[in-house]
Amino acid sequence: MEVHAVTLIPELLMAVTEHGVTGRAVRRGLLDVRTWNPRDYTHDAHRTVDDRAYGGGPGMVLKAGPLSAAVAAARAGAPADARVVYLSPQGRPIEQSLLRARSRAAGLILVCGRYEGVDERFIETSVDEEWSLGDYVLSGGELAAMVVIDALARLQPGALGDAGSAEQDSFSGALLDHPHYTRPEVFAARRVPAVLLSGDHAAIARWRRQQALGRTWRRRPELLAGMRLSEADVRLLEEYKRQPGDDNPGAGDSDE
Ligand code: 9WO
C-alpha cells in the first residue's frame, strides 16, 4: 500500500517509516510512505504557507493554495483509488473496521494541518473525507497520520511476524484483549493464573475468551451491546459475572 502524506514537517514521519513493525513493513516493500510539502508549492520568495485568520483572533491558518497544489501533486503520484483524508478533531471518529477496509486500497493520501487549522475552502475543494482519532487537540495532524499509518501497516498481509496475530488483536473480533503474563511466575505477590501454566490448551483458550468477554463487559459495555454472542460466549460471560471482582465484590463468596 502507498500512503502519501501532505505535511510541512516530513521528517516527523520517519518515526513510523524507520522503526518497529512499520519500519520493517516499509523495508520489505509492503508499505510505501511518500511526503509532499506544501512549502514546495508556494510561489513567493518567503514560501508562505500560512496567514492571519479573516475575522481576527490569535494564531495562523494554512492557506488553501499551497495545500491544494500539494494534494493535486499527491493525487497525480498516488494510485487511482487513493482517497484524500484530512485529519482533524472535526472528523468522523475512526475505528478498526474502517482501517481494515481501507488497508485493502492501493493508496491513501493523508493531509496534516498545523497552527489553528486550514482554510475551509481547501477542505471543500480538495478533501474527500475528514477523520478524527478522538476528542482531543494535538499540535498538528502528523501524529494522527502516524497513528493511521501504523494501524494500516500492521494490517498489510505479511507485516506481522506471526501471521495470525493481527486477527487475534484487540478489536479484531470487536472484543477487548485478554490479560497477558510472562516470567516470573510471581510478581508483587501476584501469581500468574494457574490455568496458563497447566499446558491444557483448550482450557487456556476458554479462559482467554472468558477474560476478553468479561473485560469488555466490565470496561466497554457498549461494545458488547452491539455484538451477537454465541451460546458458548453467553455461558462464559455469565460464569465470569458470578466471579468476584471490584464491580461485584460479593459474587463467588460461598459463605455469604
Ligand atoms: C488549535 C487551536 C488553538 C486555540 C483554540 C482552538 C484550537 N484548535 C486548534 C486545532 O484544532 N488545531 C489543529 C491542529 C488544526 C489541524 C491539525 N491539528 C490537529 C489535528 N490537532 N489535532 C488533530 C487531530 C487529528 C485527528 N484526530 C485527533 C486530533
What per-residue confidence (pLDDT) applies to 254? 38
Q: pLDDT tens digits, residue range 10-31? A: 999 999 999 999 999 999 999 9
Distance 193 CA to ligand 1 centre (A): 44
To test the ligand 1 pocket, which listed residue (9, 50, 63, 88) has its Cβ within 8 A of the most ligand atoms?
88
Residue 201 burial class via C-beta count within 10 angstroms: exposed 0-12, middle 13-18, buried 19 and up: exposed
End-to-end CA distance of the chain: 59
Greatest pairwise CA separation for the chain in angstroms: 82
Superfamily for domain range 195-242:
tRNA(m1g37)methyltransferase, domain 2 (1.10.1270.20)
d(CA 175, CA 58): 43
Which residue has the least CA distance to atom 7 on ligand 1?
116
Find the 85 Cα to ligand 1 centroid distance in Å.
Answer: 15
Q: Which CATH architecture group holds 2-168?
A: 3-Layer(aba) Sandwich (3.40)
The answer to whether the CB of 148 is under 6 A from ligand 1 is: no
Catalytic-labelled residue, pool 39, 79, 89, 206: 89
231-255 pLDDT, tens per residue? Answer: 999 999 999 999 987 655 556 443 3
Domain with CATH 3.40.1280.10 in the chain: 2-168
CB 31 within 8 A of CB 1: yes
Tens-place pLDDT, residues 104-156: 999 999 999 999 999 999 999 999 999 999 999 999 999 999 999 999 999 99
Q: What does the pLDDT look like over 152-192, one tens digit per residue?
A: 999 999 999 765 565 556 555 689 999 999 999 999 999 99
Q: How confident is the model at residue 256 (pLDDT cuts 50, 70, 90)?
A: very low
How far is Cα 124 from Cα 118, in angstroms, rounded to an integer?
Answer: 11
Contact 133, 90 (CB under 8 A): no
Q: In the numeric block, which cell numbers belong to residue 137?
A: 487537540
| Positions of CATH 1.10.1270.20 in the chain | 195-242
The pLDDT of residue 33: 98
Closest CA to 3 of 141, 127, 103, 86: 103
Q: Which of 116, 129, 130, 233 is catalytic?
A: 116
Instruction: Pull the grid cell for residue 27.
Output: 523495508
Nearest alpha-carbon partner for 92 in 119, 125, 129: 129
Does the active-site annotation cover 256?
Answer: no
Q: State the pLDDT at residue 244.
A: 80
Ligand 1 centroid, distance to 223 Cα (angstroms): 28
| CA 116–ligand 1 middle distance (angstroms) | 6
Q: Is residue 116 annotated as a catalytic residue, yes or no?
A: yes
Give the number of the atom of ligand 1 that is nearest the alpha carbon of residue 131: 26
28-51 pLDDT, tens per residue?
A: 999 999 999 999 999 999 999 999
Catalytic residue status for 47 = no
- Is there a catalytic annotation at residue 10? no
